[in-house]
Every structure is written in C-alpha cells, then in structure tokens.
Amino acid sequence: MTENKFYLPLLDQIKKDVKLDDETINAIAENCKEVSFPKDHLLLREGDDCKYAYLIVSGEARSFYTEFTGKTTTWLFHFNNSSGHIKNHWLIDYKSFLTGDPSTFNIETLSEVKAIQLCRSNVISLIEKQPLYEHWTRILNEKVFIVTYNRVFAMLTMSATDRYKKLLAEEPHLLQLFSNYYIASYLGITPQSLSRIRGRMAKER
C-alpha cells in the first residue's frame, strides 16, 4: 500500500456505511489517485463523457446545467466539511458515469480543489472483485436517488420563497460558503429576485 495515504478521506466515507477488510482497503487505495485543480477550472463540460468521479477533499465547486433559454442553474454545491452531505462530496454526473452517455451537467471549481479521483474502469473492477465495495456502491446509489428526488421535487413544486426557506432550514451553511449569485442560481432565480424575497421576509418578522 502506498505510503502517501491520500485515500483516507475516501475510506472514511465508505466506513460510515460498510466495515472494510484489509483486502478491500488495499484494492481501493490502488485504484484511486490524488488530483488538484485550480480555481475556475471546468472539470466536466456538458455533452462530454463523465469518465471520472471525484471525492472532494478541500475547496469548493458547483455542478450546473444550461436551460433551453440559455439560463444556467446550479444543481449542487460541492465541498467537504462537517456541514456537508453525501450530495456535496462527489463531483460527478452519475448518469453519464454509469452509462457513458453525454453529460447533462457542467462541473466547475470555485476555488482551488483537491480531490480523490476514481476512473470508471477502476470502479467497475472494484465492484466486480470486491463485494464490500460493491455493497457500498449500492448504498451510495440509494442515497443519490433520494437526493435527486428531493431536489427535483423542490424545483418543480415549491415557490422560490419556499425553496429559500427550505435552504435556510436545511442548508444555512451554504450562505457562508457561496456568493449570493450562486445561491440565487441554486434556487433557480435571479440575484434580484433573491434580494426581494429577503426583503419581504425581513418585513414579515
């Protein structure tokens, strides 16, 4: 096993759901690598094949998509701290990574980012040869499904004001990490609309 234990954050995440043996740990360590990206780097471009999954170790990034009108909407924010959720930890277009189809998302870094990289072929090999890793990926996929369902449901059924209230209740830390421009994009509105929502809420107090 490599002396540079850069892969430990990945093991820590997996161990939250699955108890790993030495064989699986060694296999995981041998099939990932440490990478870094500068600020404003486009890690994945819409339409490209998402061949890599990245567990973010430090820094901030976002995944976003472009609507038919040309408007861009932030799908998820990515960072790794005590406030983060599994959805925030992974830089990936899951559908493209699993199927090889063109990506529907762009992923860009908002600061310098350090991450652990897993390529698709290595993930497939781990799933085929390491039962504990395969078990963890099933748990991860279930979590991703729930996150995606909740995100889509909120965007389709909730007003912008209710989405903002939901953010305040469930993800207030995002306000400390990201600019108003990106917060508005995450809510699917303009910065001006976000300002009006905040103004109305302040008057209601």
Question: From CA 147, how far away is CA 142, in angstroms rounded?
Answer: 9
Contacts of 203 (CB under 8 A, 6+ apart): none
Asked whether residue 170 is domain-assigned, the answer is: no
Asked whether residue 57 is domain-assigned, the answer is: yes
Percent of the chain with pLDDT over 70: 99
Q: Which DSSP helix (H) or strand (E) runs through 107?
A: strand 106-109
Q: Edge-to-edge, what's the strand order for the sheet holding 52-58? A: 33-37, 113-119, 52-58, 90-91
Asked whether residue 122 is domain-assigned, the answer is: yes
Asked whether residue 120 is domain-assigned, the answer is: yes
138 vs 87, which has greater pLDDT? Answer: 138
The model's pLDDT over 153-196, given as tens digits with 9 standing for 90+, comes to 999 999 999 999 999 999 999 999 999 999 999 999 999 999 99
Mean pLDDT, residues 84-93 taken together = 90
Mean pLDDT, residues 118-141 taken together = 97
Domain that holds residue 129: 8-157
Asked whether residue 201 is domain-assigned, the answer is: no
CA 49 to chain centre: 17
Least confident range from 35-39, 42-46, 84-88, 95-99: namely 84-88
The SS3 assignment for 116 reads strand
**Residue that the structure tokens 């430990």 belong to:** 8
The model's pLDDT over 130-145, given as tens digits with 9 standing for 90+, comes to 999 999 999 999 999 9
Asked whether residue 48 is domain-assigned, the answer is: yes
- Which domain CATH number covers 136? 2.60.120.10
If one counts the domains in the chain, the total is: 1
Asked whether residue 198 is domain-assigned, the answer is: no
Asked whether residue 177 is domain-assigned, the answer is: no
